[in-house]
């Protein structure tokens, strides 16, 4: 079994446990060049196993997400509980870390995965809210029977706009904006922006 060593500034090398062959190696190769940050870590403990170059840059910056003792940690400790819940939750969970300075709000989405003969790992995808709209597929509109107006509102929500902000951006009243938001939530069966992002992100293309 081979290992992948990843070094970040101020941290000791973090040995990966991906095999040099089979599903795990294919996974590593497929995500290595993604512009989207992708991290493999242990569930619950969030101990780093592997990260692609985009994730290494994100962790090196340490402004929202960082490494502490080889484990994923929020730079702002107030959000650590949310990150811990992501590590302990079932696959498909998402959280949103607030913007910091010129860094946009960061969406973290977890998905459990296993390669033959390997322990279960948690794959964490990290991307800014403004990135999500570009990856939404037309299938999302068809699956949930969203109107063109609702799709425009959904993209604004994925870009991080509030009801007031999207009303201004789309030149509609705040009452109309709130009506669209309620209908989107009802059609998609969600009750929060985090749930909305988690569900919509399934229709993203890496």
∠ CA 148-152-158, nearest 5°, is: 140
pLDDT along the chain (206 residues), means of 10: 33 39 47 71 92 91 93 93 85 76 83 78 82 59 86 84 89 95 94 83 60
∠ CA 10-124-156, nearest 5°, is: 110
Question: What is the pLDDT, as a whole number, of residue 203?
Answer: 66
Task: Choose the CATH number for 5-129 among 3.40.50.1000, 3.30.450.20, 3.40.50.2300, 3.40.640.10.
Answer: 3.30.450.20
Structure tokens at 156: 């604004």
CATH architecture of the domain covering 136-203: Orthogonal Bundle (1.10)
**Integer-rounded Cα radius of gyration of the chain:** 18
Question: What is the pLDDT, as a whole number, of residue 69?
Answer: 94
Q: How many whole angstroms separate alpha carbon 107 and alpha carbon 198?
A: 9
Q: How many whole angstroms separate alpha carbon 32 and alpha carbon 50?
A: 10
Question: What is the pLDDT, as a whole number, of residue 112?
Answer: 84
Sketch the domain layout of the chain as residue ranges: 5-129, 136-203
């Amino acid at each position: 079994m081979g290992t992948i060593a990843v070094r970040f500034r101020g941290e000791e090398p973090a040995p990966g446990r991906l095999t040099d062959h089979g599903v795990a190696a294919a996974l590593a190769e497929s995500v290595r060049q993604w512009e989207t940050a992708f991290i493999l870590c242990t569930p619950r403990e969030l101990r780093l196993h592997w990260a692609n170059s985009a994730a290494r840059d994100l962790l090196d910056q340490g402004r929202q997400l960082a490494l502490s003792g080889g484990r994923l940690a929020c730079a702002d400790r107030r959000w650590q509980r949310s990150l811990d819940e992501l590590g302990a939750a079932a696959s498909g969970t998402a959280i949103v870390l607030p913007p910091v300075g010129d860094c946009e709000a960061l969406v973290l989405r977890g998905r459990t995965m296993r390669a033959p003969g390997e322990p279960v790992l948690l794959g964490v995808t990290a991307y800014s809210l403004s990135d999500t709209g570009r990856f939404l597929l037309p299938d999302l509109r068809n699956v949930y029977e969203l109107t063109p107006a609702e799709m425009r509102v959904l993209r604004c929500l994925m870009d991080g706009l509030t009801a007031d902000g999207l009303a201004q951006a789309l030149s509609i009243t705040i009452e109309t904006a709130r009506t669209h938001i309620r209908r989107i939530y009802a059609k998609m069966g969600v009750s929060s922006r985090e749930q909305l992002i988690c569900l919509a992100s399934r229709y993203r293309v890496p």
